[in-house]
Structures are given as C-alpha cells and as structure tokens.
A = this chain, B = another copy of it.
Amino acid sequence: MTDPRLYCSNPLRASAEIRLGRDESHYLVSVMRRKAGDKVRLFNPQDGEWSADIAAADRKGVSLRLEKKLRAAQRVPDLDLLFAPVKKARTDFIVEKATELGVRRIRPVLTRRTIADKVRLDRLSALVREAAEQTERFDLPEIFEAEKLESVLDGWPADRVLFFCDEAGDAMPMAEALRGHETGKAAILTGPEGGFTSEERDYIRSLPIAIPVSLGPRILRADTAAAAALTLWQSCCGDWSGGAQARE
C-alpha cells in the first residue's frame, strides 16, 4: 500500500510540525485507518511532495512531523478546459477527469442549450482536491465561476489557442489540427448535451484564435468529448510525450 497523499497549503520543511484539520484527520484515522507511527505524504505546488510521520492521532486530530522531500514539484501544462455544465454526475466526471488529465484551469461556460444543475464550486473544489491527491499532481486546478460563453470569448486572449470540439460536421480530426500547435497556451471547449446552436458555432468559428476540431464519426457525450480532447492534447502537445517534465 502506498502512503496516503494529502494536499497541504502550509510550507513544507524538514522537521516542521503540522496539525491537520478535522476533515483530513477524520479521513486519515477513520477512512484510511492510520495511527501514530504511520507515514503520509504531503504536497503543494511550491514545495513538492514530502513524507511525514503521524506523531499523534487522537480525538483532537492528527499531528504530523515532516521528514524528507520525496519529489520536486512539477507544473501541469498551461491548458484550460471550458465546458458546458451537464447533469451533476457527468459534471463531476468532467471535473475529475480534467484534474487527472492535467489541466490548469476548469471554466464552466453557460451556452444556449446548457441545462444543468447549479454548479456548486464548494463541491467541485473538494472533488478536484481529492482527484489531485489521487492522480499525484502537485497543484490543484483552479475552478472558475460559471460564466456565459459569450463573455468568456469576448475577453479571449490572443495568445491562447482555443480548440473547439465541433461535432456538427466538417472539422479537421483533432490529432491533425494539433500539429503545429505543440507549444504555447491552449484551451479546449466542449459543448452541452444537444450541442452548440448554429449561431454559437458561427460565432466561435468566426474567432481567429478558435480551431474547430472533430472527435471521430460517432456522437460523443459531453463528458466523453472532454476526456478524449484532453487526452489528445496531452499526448500531442502536453506532458505525455516522453519525460514527466511539463513545459512552461
């Protein structure tokens, strides 16, 4: 069994003592069944990943003493996911997968056909944190408040390519479209169940920075499209191609 891995915003230094909050203490003691003398791992994007000993685990909580640095922090590539929120379980899935598939920012965008439960940032933040702990990244992706698609695109920066997953037709296969964009900032935009309206498609396609891409001959659900597009980007332009070193 590998040692439990927890995100910790405190500075991580040799011999530092850290008291965990209630939720994390409960998780370690009651869920993971750890006790004094066991080891955990702590990480954050500034200090990397550290091993720590459980110094005390009682009803008042868990205290840790940091031992040594295990790994230096690495950043995920500079990739954003813009997605139209869908039903709760599938939105959760998209957010979890975006974290595992190494995006820096998760931006829910509201489109004409977005029919979604309210996006609960507190719930998604907990989900992102758990996914980051599990997937062994060092940072937590930043989750934005849901915003109208038009507002997001109106202020779109000229140096961030937007790969627009356009299932309605004649777009270039995504793997082909990625060639020539191996470096630089990027974002992926996926639509709601039911797709974008034709007005939305025309508008997005009119942006010079937007590149429509296709994800094959079948209709993909919104969550599948997001996972597939992130996979192709990481494989072609991100940190999947060889070393674990993320580019800046």
Q: Which A residues are within 8 Å of any B CB, using their own CB?
A: 74, 93, 96-97, 100-102, 134-137, 173-176, 214-221, 224, 227-228, 231-232, 234-236, 238-244
Residue from B136, B174, B231 within 8 A of A227 (CB atoms): B231
> Which residues of chain B are within 8 angstroms of A219 by Cβ–Cβ distance?
100, 134-136
| Contact partners of A97 in chain B: CB under 8 A | 224, 227
A179 to B224, CA, bound (A): 24
Please tell me if the beta carbons of B135 and A101 are within 8 angstroms of each other in the complex: no
Contacts of A242 in B (CB 8 A): 173
A173 to B235, CA, bound (A): 8
Would you list the 9 A-B pairs with minimal beta carbon distance, nearest first?
A217-B244, A216-B240, A228-B231, A135-B218, A231-B231, A175-B235, A136-B219, A227-B227, A100-B224
- CB-based contact A221/B93 at 8 Å: no
Chain B residues within 8 Å of A220, by CB: 100-101, 135
- Count this chain's copies in the assembly: 2
Closest Cβ of chain B to A77, distance in Å, is 10
Known: A175-B235, A216-B240. 15 other contacts (CB 8 A): A74-B217, A93-B93, A97-B227, A100-B221, A100-B224, A101-B224, A174-B240, A175-B241, A216-B234, A216-B235, A224-B227, A227-B227, A227-B228, A228-B231, A231-B231
Q: Chain B contacts of A74 at CB under 8 A?
A: 217
